[in-house]
Structure 1
Amino acid sequence: MMKLTKKRVVLFLLFIFPLICFLILSTGKNNFTKLPVVTKNVVDISTLDSIYTFKGHTSIVCFLGNDVQAEKGGFFNLNEKIYKKFIEYNKFQMIAIYPKGKESDAKQIKKEISAFTDMVKWKFIAGSKEEIVALHSSFNSTDTLTNLYTSKVFLIDKKGDLRGRISDQDSKDGKLFGYNMNSVSELNAKLKDDVLVLFYEYYTAFKDKNKNKADRK
């Protein structure tokens, strides 16, 4: 019989146990199934700045608004609960939209957040009022921009589609377009879970594609 050594216990706790939890969660009702597309083909971020794009990336989009200091608590929540969780994931980016003319405010919040994390995947992008409104409107979200700010953040997939939920018990008509960054519980229980679902969806699609290639050989 295999002895239960300290080394084997540590290996189990570090690698095997998390995998078991992962497999259990993958059978859950809201976990590791395809995440619904709630709006197709949203306006691409390249319309604000040609350097950036949603295509080929997993993006979380937030709107800083005209008074970012008054609302900065939510951005710190977003950084702590979501960004730090996924910073190591391939092609992940955090898109922060701010109005032109508010460069100093954007620079300040970026400086404050950078005291706690590596900002390599935070992208701060300026836009005119019209560009910001057009981008947000393309999401077809039920929330509204107030001073070009909203507490909702949005999950965009690699194809440029908005992902969310269509049977969310806390949302009107069951549709969840965005996640409230002022709510730590919502970031933990919904957004983090949904980003994991999306990455797992990419993984299974990649695995199936490679399997089909191998089967044809």
Structure 2
Amino acid sequence: MKNKIILIILFILPIVTYLIFASAKHNSMFLPVLSENNSEIPQEWNSLSGEKVKLKDKITVLGFTGNDIAEFKARMFNLNQKIYNKYFGFKDFQIVMIAPLGTEEAVKENVYELNRITEDMKGWKFIFATPEQIQEYYLTFKLVSNLEDDFGTPSVIILDKNINHRGRKGKNKKGEDEYRESYNTISAADLHNEMTDDVKIILREYRLALKKNNRKDEFRDKITKEVEKTSKSK
């Protein structure tokens, strides 16, 4: 009887826990979808490294630098210290910045300077396009906020592996209505608190999905060991 109880606990409890996480609306368990199947980055746009950068199958923090790269430098530093340094070890995580053509050298200088205090900059991606192309692409996300006059914004958004825009929508923990489509990179507090939590939530979603897909043998092995341990202790 005792062995049956152990089997039930080991099989049922993880499944119930997963379903709770998967069905939750927010409250630190699930990050709501604000828009679905957004546009991929046009593959004819050039990147700083020369590689083709894609949003599909990546968890992406997407931003727009604007023409004033000197002003963007402080925002890049904040994002690097508060977000990138915490999550760059996750192989499918990237920060993608879309910048106007003509700012390549200034961006390269920023990357070089930041590389001196950052372990690995491979997760930072910079894409270049004309101001008109940038404006057109930005509008496809149908955000409440707009680009500034220099075709940039201090705000960044989170996209999941299906290029769904993720953020906060509905009731927060206090029961208040909440809507957050972006995060202000000028504010270290905004990045450290809200954005850090939200990136952590979406990464946890994918970890749970991976565990679910690879669970069978691992769980059976664990159950066998637990049952054998219980039997020997009798």
* Structure 1 position 211, deviation (Å): 3.8
CA–CA distance in structure 1, aligned partners of residues 79 and 56 of structure 2? 22
Distance 2:103 2:72 in 1: 14
Question: How many angstroms apart in 1 are the aligned matches of 2:216 and 2:137?
Answer: 37
Partner of residue 202 from structure 1, selected from 202, 206, 216: 206
Q: Note the C-alpha offset of 1:188.
A: 1.1
User: Which residue is equivalent to 1:44?
Assistant: 40
Aligned to 2:27: 30
AA aligned to 1:200 is R
Q: Deviations over 1:109-131 (max 9, x none)?
A: 21222121121111111112222
- Output the CA distance in 1 between the equivalents of 2:125 and 2:111: 10
**Which region of structure 1 is more displaced relative to structure 2, 50-59 or 82-91?**
50-59
| Letter in structure 2 aligned against 1:150 | T
Asked if the contact 2:69–2:103 (Cα under 8 Å) also holds between the matched residues in 1, the reply is no
Displacement of 1:61 in angstroms is 1.1
Match of 1:159 in 2: 162
Can you list the C-alpha shifts for 1:122-144, whole angstroms capped at 9, x where unaligned? Answer: 11111122221122212222111
SS in 2 for 1:188: helix
Seen in structure 2, the aligned counterparts of structure 1 residues 139 and 206 have a Cα distance that, compared at 3 Å, is same
Which SS does the other structure have where 1:45 is aligned? coil
- Correspondence for 1:141 among 126, 139, 143: 143
Alignment of 1:1-217 (within 5 A): 30-31=27-28, 33-47=29-43, 48-49=45-46, 51-117=52-118, 118-146=120-148, 147-167=150-170, 174-211=178-215
Offset at residue 76 of structure 1 (A): 0.5
Gaps in structure 1 of 5+ consecutive residues: 1-25
Consecutive unaligned residues of structure 2, counting only runs of 5 or more, are: 1-20, 220-234
Report the 3-state secondary structure (helix = DSSP H, G, I; strand = E; otherwise coil) of the residue aligned with 2:156.
Answer: strand
Alignment identity in percent? 32
Task: Find the aligned partners of 2:133 and 2:147 in 1 and give their Cα distance.
Answer: 13
| Distance of 1:104 and 1:168 partners within structure 2 | 44
* Contact 1:42 1:135 (8 Å CA) reproduced: no
| Partner SS state of residue 154, structure 1 | strand
Secondary structure of the residue that 2:62 maps to in structure 1? Answer: strand
- Tell me by how many angstroms 1:40 deviates: 1.1
How far does residue 163 in structure 1 lie from its aligned partner after superposition? 0.6
Whole-Å separation in 2 of the counterparts to 1:61 and 1:131: 16
Contact kept in structure 1, 2:67 and 2:151, CA below 8 Å: yes
Pairwise CA distance, 1:150 = 0.3
SS of the residue corresponding to residue 166 of structure 1 reads: strand
| Structure 1 contact 65–149 (Cα < 8 Å) conserved | yes
Q: Deviations over 1:56-96 (max 9, x none)?
A: 11111121101110232111100000000011012111111
Distance in 2, Cα, partners of 1:189 & 1:67: 27
Structure 1 CA distance, aligned partners of 2:129 and 2:217?
Answer: 43
Computed over aligned residues only, the root mean square deviation of the Cα atoms, in angstroms, reads 2.4
Aligned counterparts of 1:159 and 1:212: Cα–Cα separation in 2 = 26
Q: TM-score, normalised by structure 2?
A: 0.72
- In the alignment, is the contact (CA less than 8 A) between 1:165 and 1:175 conserved in 2? yes
TM-score under structure 1 length normalisation: 0.77
Rg (Cα) greater in structure: 2
Equivalent pair of 1:99/1:128 in contact (CA under 8 Å)? yes
